Homo-oligomer: A and B are copies of this chain.
Amino acid sequence: MNLDATFQALADPTRRDMVERLARAPATVSELAQPYAMSLPAVVQHLAVLEASGLVRSEKQGRVRTCRVEPAALSLAEQWFNQRRAEWDARLDRLGEHLKRFPDGEPK
């Protein structure tokens, strides 16, 4: 559940697509792999990256592994953006106040 691993995981289009699909519904490894033009092991490696980041978790029953997204991990990343936006807005506010106080530029 750390941002390094989370953003790293989301930097790959295949992995982002996997998360998009898993956000709509859980899927098995083979189902997940089906659309991609790559070997199964490659898909499983992508999955491992997603699991390591905490974005996805999976559970094996018999010989079938079912994967689902972990919304908490998505929220954590989302929060990072919320905080940046808050800081950005705070700065704009300070800037506005400042301009109201010194409309003709900084006093020398």
Contacts and interface: CB of A to CB of B under 8 A. Distances in A.
Interface string A74-96: 11011011111101101100000
A65 interface: no
A22 to B, nearest CB: 9
Instruction: Tell me how many chains of this kind the complex includes.
Output: 2
Interface residues of A, number: 30
A75 B89 CA distance: 13
A23 B71 contact: no
Contacts of A87: 20, 23-24
A13 interface: yes
Nearest to A69: B88
Nearest to A21: B87
Given A7-B8, A23-B87, A24-B91, 20 more contacts: A4-B11, A11-B11, A16-B80, A19-B84, A20-B83, A20-B84, A23-B84, A23-B85, A24-B90, A25-B91, A69-B84, A71-B85, A71-B88, A74-B81, A74-B84, A74-B88, A77-B81, A78-B78, A78-B82, A81-B81
